[in-house]
Structure 1
Amino acid sequence: MTAPLEHLDLAGPLKQVRKALPHDSAEKHVRGTAEYIDDMVEPVGTLHVVPGWAKDAVRGSLQSVGLEDVKSAPGVVEVLTVADIRGINDCSSAFGDDPVLAEEEILFHGQVVFAVVGETREAARKAALKAKIEVTPSTPILTPDDAMDADTTVMPDYQFRRGSPETGMPASEEVLSGTMYIGGQEHFYLEGQIAMALPQEDGGMLVYSSTQHPTEIQHTVAKVLGVPDAAVTAEVRRMGGGFGGKESQANQWAALAALAAQKTGRACKMRLDRDDDMIMTGKRHDFKVEWKVGHDGTGKIRAVDIQFLARCGYSADLSLGVNDRTMFHADSSYFYPDALIRSRRLRTDTCSNTAFRGFGGPQGMLAAERMIDAIAIQTGRDPLEIRKLNFYDAEHNLTPYGMPVEEHELMLDLVEKLEKSSDYWTRREEVARFNSQNAVLKKGLALTPVKFGISFTLKQLNQAGALVHLYTDGSIHLNHGGTEMGQGLNQKVAQVVAEEFGVTLDKVRITATNTSKVPNTAPTAASSGTDLNAMAARKAAREIKERLITYIREQYQCGPEAIHFGDNKVLVGGEAFPLAAIAKQAFAARIQLSHAGFYATPGITWDRDSVTGRPFFYFAYGGACSEVTIDTMTGEMSVDRVDILHDVGHSLNPAIDLGQIEGGFVQGMGWLTTEELVWDEKGHLRTHAPSTYKIPTASDVPEDFRVDLYESDGNPQATVYRSKAVGEPPVMLANSVFCAVNDAVASLNPGEVPALDAPATPEAIMKAVQDMRRRKGTQ
């Protein structure tokens, strides 16, 4: 019988967890020996698959698809169309509205119409250009405003309501309102979308996919091929980045590779060109936000009415969950007595937007910070004062969706520690002095909080499995349902298993995620990869260990207190045995040395239809203080200094967590300052390559960048070793950069709220600067 999980953290000093150990693939990454799908040795006769699409069409009916020249091109083996799909022409995650190949109409610029299967990738790419596709165009719906005018949605509207904002708003001393546009973001993973499919006997298929959701790849491929799920195996060793872009959107490319393999009987690989990848795959959702906030005259919020208008694209994809999470985080860290939080999920004739690190939370939180900044500017108070004034506290600790904020005191303590360590108030005076002495350059300063809910809000996804084998030489095989995309998940899970068995990490063999080993897995997303998979692996290891303890007690006639696992040995009384020796004895005694562990997050009770229950297991917290300088003549901006304090509970691996915090912040900074997606009036994505889309580089990382972990008492919830998730929350630390830019622009005309949209590119900053000067000139 396994001991209760709440007692597992109490047995002796820790040797492997809570240690700053290197990523398991770090050395391989540096040496270039970490194997990705395009590095794998291709089976003899491997074919290459390339998508074909109507490069000039945006939205319209397919009139004809001329493929004769494509089929006769050198090196072409097959050309796949919708007629080749034996199963269902759908690669959606849930709603059945994502065709693998276009049938009767083009839904967005970049939709795949056919696929070329060639002896070489180059031959297939050249052949794909020879297609003659005729489309009868229709006027595309491209923006949230277009979609609102046309009243097109991908799913019904949704809302949270608390109290009576209809009476709370007019009863407020002051009411502010505004509109804000929040841009999307391209995932720009280093390894693009790729899959390789190998036919197996009896109609089976082995698919290597760069995906965050192997089970969904298995299900999608089976659905498209018209075979049972059990006939398909999906495997993932590692991804070169995912960030949510490979949670659902890897499906189509795996399905096409498998379809080609089924048709030809040969191994087939599909690797998207970077331009095609950016044009064809979804992004972070962009929003038009309409907000209104009432306060008591001192800045304490009385009522909020906020509507999120999301560009979802041509299909639903993951827009239900993404937009729900935007609403869940529209409170940021603030208590709203009366609140109406609404969402419209708008259908547009653009690529189907999808998951992106933060999963809608960053957009909701940024909108909340805009309201706080507006109140501060209008009242003439410092934004940090307004933030702290509205924090959740013991008396006001219920979110608009009804979940209590159980660690509200942690948020205030963390922010006050950061306020002190960043020397916020002294620097605030220095910023004011600098701005008074400089007409062109202006500085801004902002300290913003993060409160991010951890769990999938779709209850069924909060589960994980793991398979652990102990071999008779003392080595351990570890497999779990999570996927490694550079975030260090495998390393953390291995540390947990090593700790449980009392062995060094070199004894634990991390193996590729495989649907034939751990079935029916959830995606590695929602920052819950470690929470779920490490706990499942720990339960598996503990079960094996308990069997060994039971055997040792019987064999050596001792109590459990005399048995200790550590340093690759088992101490029984005063005698030490190598773990391998005990494993051999147990095998000889016919003791099972393998176990499939399973874990389901407790306490998740959210019911979407009734808008009741608990959507999150706990909250992760953080704070960031950013200082920026803008040039009011050019719109250029530099981030001068960043101070971060972030809560990870008791960190399983501080080195990996610090790396995640730094990387998440910089990625969020890119979203809010440089990464601008531009579609033209025809619906063509113009920013579809590194030459036109600007992600942060090493030179954009703040030169003065101070990151610390909050000294926590540990997660009050029973997570593995009382740790907290760290994947997504750091992205929202970058809100401090945007708010600092807003602060700098606001200094041009005190009392006026800048019309600054995200991302705050030089063009957006100049637009806001000019608007502030125009308003100042008319006052």
Structure 2
Amino acid sequence: MRKLVQPNSSNQASVQQGVGQSLQHESARKHVTGSAEYIDDMPTSPQLLHVATGQSARAHARIVSLDLSEVQTAAGVVDVITQQDIPGQIDVGPVYGGDPLLAGDTVVYAGQPIFAVAATSIEAAKRAVCLAKVEYQALPAVLTIDDAIAADSFVLPPHQHLQGDPEQAIDSAPFQTEGEIYVRGQEHFYLEGQISQASATEDGGIHVISSTQHPTEIQKLVSEVLGLGLHEVVAEVRRMGGGFGGKESQAAPLACIASLFAIRQRRPVRYRMPRQDDMVQTGKRHDFKNNWRAGFDSDGRLHGVSMTLAGKCGCSPDLSEGIVDRAMFHASNAYSFNAARIVGLRCKTNTVSNTAFRGFGGPKGMMAAETLMDDIARTVKKDPLDVRLINLYQPGQDETPYGQVVEQHVLPELMRTLEQSSDYRQRRNTINAFNNANRYVKKGLAMTPVQFGISFTAKHLNQAGALLHIYTDGTMLISHGGTEMGQGLNTKIQQIVASAFDVPVAMVKVSSTRTDKVPNTSPTAASSGTDLNGMAALNACNKIKRELSKFAATHFNIEEYELKYHNGQVTAGEQVMNFNEFVQLAYLNRTSLSANGFYKTPKIHYDKNTGQGQPFFYFANGAAVSEVTIDTLTGEYKVNRVDVLQDVGKSLNPAIDMGQIEGGFVQGMGWLTTEELLWDKQGSVISDSPANYKIPTAFDTPEQFNVALYRRENTANTIHQSKAVGEPPLMLGISVWAALRDAISSTSNYRLSPQLDTPATPERVYWALQQCAQYNQQHQEAS
């Protein structure tokens, strides 16, 4: 067990608690004891109303008639609304239109909200919505990626990255291969479901407390739906019980409906989605169908690749433009394609509009690259690790298909280090011997890398603000535009501010995120929460420090640079005093002790028309080695051992970073092994509860799980030379899928790279084993 430093107020503790130290999460004790207050824990009053929505039973249909008379008279019901009761804007799409708050004459997916009920209890609201009488006229429904492509059904036009002449490079290469993989989506399954609470203010405004990653979007959409100015809406977030991207755009409809009822009834309103409603009504990670054609030589080195990535966007654009773009950006993962054509398709289907999920579209693109690496290795009869190593971005082959040059060549050294520390080569030999000696049980081993670009691909989102107050006792309150969803952002902000003045972390508090404190915030997403908000907080610290230096220079007759902060004290020339005493003195001399900070990411640019640019400030890197054992008679398997080495730059908080890596890996492993999103032929979600959707449990974690930080300072000018750690570890879970495929391939003596769509459930593993058995039989008959 890792021992973490406990916060306390002694000056001697400050050095141990600053940036770079393993300080526990600021709400850890509250989480464990149950005292952390989430929205549904907030005190209720007799005036509080609860919301439920009536949902479409059809994937695509016209509403012929809607009878809500029994709903309106049901016990406990206070108010019922339909689309015509919305006073302002109807559409709540985050970027493009297509997401009406409530359906009008037509429904476009099963589960779409048609009307909403406010009642005195959630039970009364849920009972009431069942009393609606809805008559539909069925319309043709597009339900799959293949259907969408055949019908030319897309939410947005295709996009392309082009590097060199890929077709010529492929055709002239000594070897060619082509392949396809279907990668299913993923349910967010946060511990705290979607929820918002709204209260009308005395001046005609609205105060919304929301479980959201994007408070400013809540503020904007609530104002538009109600027809209010942005200054009349305050959105607030204290904490979320998990987000993973599912609360970036999907939280807005709940906030809007709760606010609408609150204004209509002048009563507080809480809208908490029951788990099943959440799983039906809110978007998920996109399904992707990826196919490619590639040319390579006998060493396994790529000459060129042509790839198409088709994402299942659902019924509206939502964030799919950026998600499919991100899949395209990461379709090469860590490898130089040399010449490439990457095409992204945004398929429109009559299913719930899919949305952001940890890694955005990156994991889906990477799956194409990693499948290709394995296929090449089987063709040239090499260990897949050697094929991966030879194709890594490195000096001389460092330009991506979108024109950005990889400047930090971290992975070649990182992977060699992990190869040694995990004893990869010896274990490969041991596994080969085991597989030769065992007929029905096989082992697999794989190392896969991750190179993940850090920055929002929408340039304007790469900005952040912060507001810092220092009070006369020396304590500090920092507000910033990021949101805390359990990832430790507020803890790192505390450490950044405390380190700026070299005081104990206990002297710094982070307030809830509010749009009336820090305006125009970007979503806490794209692994940029600490990068952006940490730099904004530091900027605010530096502004106050400049004011304090000017005061000290005048008051103590010293140069400004002579003011020093150390271990809770301040040195001004020959004067030494406690930090709080110095602050009090500065206040008495009318020195400003408050400042707003701001940061915008430099250097980034991307031309959508040419598909070229530098969309990322830097890359976070990592690699994982996974070992699995499969039962060839049933397809069942277990993960025996995982070794992870993650590039985090100069870690701000190693303990929190380790937790993010471990959690991200397991979530990625779940996406690729147990978590199966399924729809029926009518377009309704089948996997709509914990009973039929299986996230990993403690029993699914690797028997041996070794995680280490690759401590190499970031050469980009980030906050204290750290690197983002939120999303990149998720894609390390690809190594488990690759190890399963390796074990299956061993049954063909590694001659066949079997088709293994995801998630690689025991059933799919069994079917892949049957492919190998058929391959063996055909070759035996041929010989």
The question of whether the paired residues in 2 share the 8 Å contact of 1:37 and 1:210 is answered with yes
The question of whether the paired residues in 2 share the 8 Å contact of 1:50 and 1:116 is answered with yes
SS at match of 2:434: helix
1:379 Cα offset (Å): 1.0
Q: Is the aligned partner of 1:142 residue 2:149?
A: no
SS at match of 1:395: coil
Q: Is the aligned partner of 1:505 residue 2:500?
A: no
Determine the structure 2 residue equivalent to 1:159: 160
Distance (Å, rounded) in 1 between the aligned partners of 2:241 and 2:710: 29
Distance (Å, rounded) in 1 between the aligned partners of 2:237 and 2:669: 30
SS at match of 1:79: strand
Code of the aligned partner of 2:621: Y
Code of the aligned partner of 1:773: A
SS at match of 1:155: strand
Determine the structure 2 residue equivalent to 1:76: 77
The question of whether the paired residues in 2 share the 8 Å contact of 1:183 and 1:677 is answered with yes
Determine the structure 2 residue equivalent to 1:682: 682
Q: Is the aligned partner of 1:760 residue 2:760?
A: yes
Where do 5+ consecutive residues of structure 2 fail to align?
A: 1-13
Distance (Å, rounded) in 1 between the aligned partners of 2:146 and 2:191: 33
Determine the structure 2 residue equivalent to 1:435: 435
The question of whether the paired residues in 1 share the 8 Å contact of 2:15 and 2:502 is answered with no
SS at match of 1:623: strand
| Correspondence list, 1:339-488, <5 A | 339-408=340-409, 410-488=410-488
The C-alpha deviation readout for 1:193-224, integer Å capped at 9, x for no partner, is 00000001232000000000000000010111
Determine the structure 2 residue equivalent to 1:703: 703
The C-alpha deviation readout for 1:216-267, integer Å capped at 9, x for no partner, is 0000101111111111000000000000000011011111101111111111
Determine the structure 1 residue equivalent to 2:233: 232
Distance (Å, rounded) in 1 between the aligned partners of 2:15 and 2:406: 32
Q: Is the aligned partner of 1:18 residue 2:20?
A: yes
Q: Is the aligned partner of 1:28 residue 2:30?
A: yes
Comparing 546-555 with 520-529, greater Cα deviation is found at 546-555
Determine the structure 2 residue equivalent to 1:113: 114
Determine the structure 1 residue equivalent to 2:593: 593
Determine the structure 2 residue equivalent to 1:533: 533
The question of whether the paired residues in 1 share the 8 Å contact of 2:15 and 2:504 is answered with no
Determine the structure 2 residue equivalent to 1:267: 268
1:32 Cα offset (Å): 0.3
SS at match of 1:758: coil
Comparing 553-562 with 691-700, greater Cα deviation is found at 553-562
Distance (Å, rounded) in 2 between the aligned partners of 1:327 and 1:252: 29
Determine the structure 1 residue equivalent to 2:315: 314
Code of the aligned partner of 1:112: P
SS at match of 2:157: coil
The C-alpha deviation readout for 1:498-519, integer Å capped at 9, x for no partner, is 0112210111111100000000
SS at match of 1:558: coil
Distance (Å, rounded) in 1 between the aligned partners of 2:654 and 2:503: 20
Code of the aligned partner of 2:32: V
1:15 Cα offset (Å): 5.6
Q: Is the aligned partner of 1:201 residue 2:205?
A: no
1:563 Cα offset (Å): 2.1
Distance (Å, rounded) in 2 between the aligned partners of 1:529 and 1:202: 33
The question of whether the paired residues in 1 share the 8 Å contact of 2:465 and 2:536 is answered with yes
The C-alpha deviation readout for 1:73-94, integer Å capped at 9, x for no partner, is 0000000111110001111101
Determine the structure 2 residue equivalent to 1:730: 729
Task: From the superposition, tell whether residues 45 and 15 of structure 1 become closer, same or farther in structure 2 (CA, over 3 Å).
Answer: closer
Distance (Å, rounded) in 2 between the aligned partners of 1:351 and 1:22: 38
The C-alpha deviation readout for 1:580-600, integer Å capped at 9, x for no partner, is 222222222221111010000
1:19 Cα offset (Å): 0.2
The question of whether the paired residues in 1 share the 8 Å contact of 2:17 and 2:505 is answered with no
The question of whether the paired residues in 2 share the 8 Å contact of 1:629 and 1:638 is answered with yes
Code of the aligned partner of 2:690: P
Determine the structure 1 residue equivalent to 2:258: 257
Determine the structure 2 residue equivalent to 1:247: 248
Code of the aligned partner of 1:727: G
The question of whether the paired residues in 2 share the 8 Å contact of 1:14 and 1:499 is answered with no
The question of whether the paired residues in 1 share the 8 Å contact of 2:199 and 2:269 is answered with yes
1:772 Cα offset (Å): 1.6
Give the number of equivalent residue pairs: 765
The question of whether the paired residues in 2 share the 8 Å contact of 1:312 and 1:347 is answered with yes
The question of whether the paired residues in 1 share the 8 Å contact of 2:651 and 2:711 is answered with no
Comparing 449-458 with 541-550, greater Cα deviation is found at 541-550
Q: TM-score scaled to structure 2, two decimals? A: 0.97
Distance (Å, rounded) in 2 between the aligned partners of 1:15 and 1:570: 18
The question of whether the paired residues in 1 share the 8 Å contact of 2:474 and 2:580 is answered with yes
The question of whether the paired residues in 2 share the 8 Å contact of 1:235 and 1:513 is answered with yes
Code of the aligned partner of 1:319: S
1:699 Cα offset (Å): 0.9
Determine the structure 2 residue equivalent to 1:739: 738
Distance (Å, rounded) in 1 between the aligned partners of 2:695 and 2:728: 19
Code of the aligned partner of 1:255: C
Code of the aligned partner of 2:756: L
Distance (Å, rounded) in 2 between the aligned partners of 1:267 and 1:601: 39
Code of the aligned partner of 1:555: H
Determine the structure 2 residue equivalent to 1:9: none
Distance (Å, rounded) in 1 between the aligned partners of 2:451 and 2:368: 14
SS at match of 2:775: helix
1:485 Cα offset (Å): 0.2
Distance (Å, rounded) in 1 between the aligned partners of 2:142 and 2:617: 39
Q: Is the aligned partner of 1:554 residue 2:570?
A: no
Determine the structure 1 residue equivalent to 2:282: 281
Distance (Å, rounded) in 1 between the aligned partners of 2:369 and 2:197: 43
Distance (Å, rounded) in 2 between the aligned partners of 1:297 and 1:470: 65
Determine the structure 2 residue equivalent to 1:3: none
The question of whether the paired residues in 1 share the 8 Å contact of 2:15 and 2:567 is answered with no
Q: Is the aligned partner of 1:51 residue 2:53?
A: yes
Determine the structure 2 residue equivalent to 1:7: none
The question of whether the paired residues in 2 share the 8 Å contact of 1:164 and 1:339 is answered with yes
The C-alpha deviation readout for 1:601-640, integer Å capped at 9, x for no partner, is 0111112223222100000010100000111111111000
SS at match of 2:443: strand
Distance (Å, rounded) in 2 between the aligned partners of 1:219 and 1:428: 55
SS at match of 2:558: coil
The question of whether the paired residues in 1 share the 8 Å contact of 2:66 and 2:133 is answered with yes
SS at match of 1:443: strand
1:138 Cα offset (Å): 2.1
Distance (Å, rounded) in 2 between the aligned partners of 1:298 and 1:718: 37
1:120 Cα offset (Å): 1.0
Distance (Å, rounded) in 2 between the aligned partners of 1:312 and 1:236: 28
Code of the aligned partner of 2:736: V
The question of whether the paired residues in 2 share the 8 Å contact of 1:169 and 1:302 is answered with yes
Determine the structure 2 residue equivalent to 1:174: 175
**Regions of 4+ moved over 3 Å:** 12-15
Distance (Å, rounded) in 2 between the aligned partners of 1:627 and 1:15: 37
SS at match of 1:606: strand
Where do 5+ consecutive residues of structure 1 fail to align?
A: 1-11
Determine the structure 1 residue equivalent to 2:3: none
Determine the structure 2 residue equivalent to 1:290: 291
Distance (Å, rounded) in 2 between the aligned partners of 1:146 and 1:95: 23
Distance (Å, rounded) in 2 between the aligned partners of 1:583 and 1:279: 54
SS at match of 1:726: coil
What's the % identity of the aligned pairs? 50
Distance (Å, rounded) in 2 between the aligned partners of 1:511 and 1:43: 25
1:320 Cα offset (Å): 0.4
Code of the aligned partner of 1:33: S
SS at match of 2:613: coil
The question of whether the paired residues in 2 share the 8 Å contact of 1:448 and 1:733 is answered with yes
The question of whether the paired residues in 1 share the 8 Å contact of 2:556 and 2:573 is answered with no
SS at match of 1:169: helix
Determine the structure 1 residue equivalent to 2:579: 579
The question of whether the paired residues in 2 share the 8 Å contact of 1:186 and 1:283 is answered with yes
Distance (Å, rounded) in 2 between the aligned partners of 1:32 and 1:576: 43
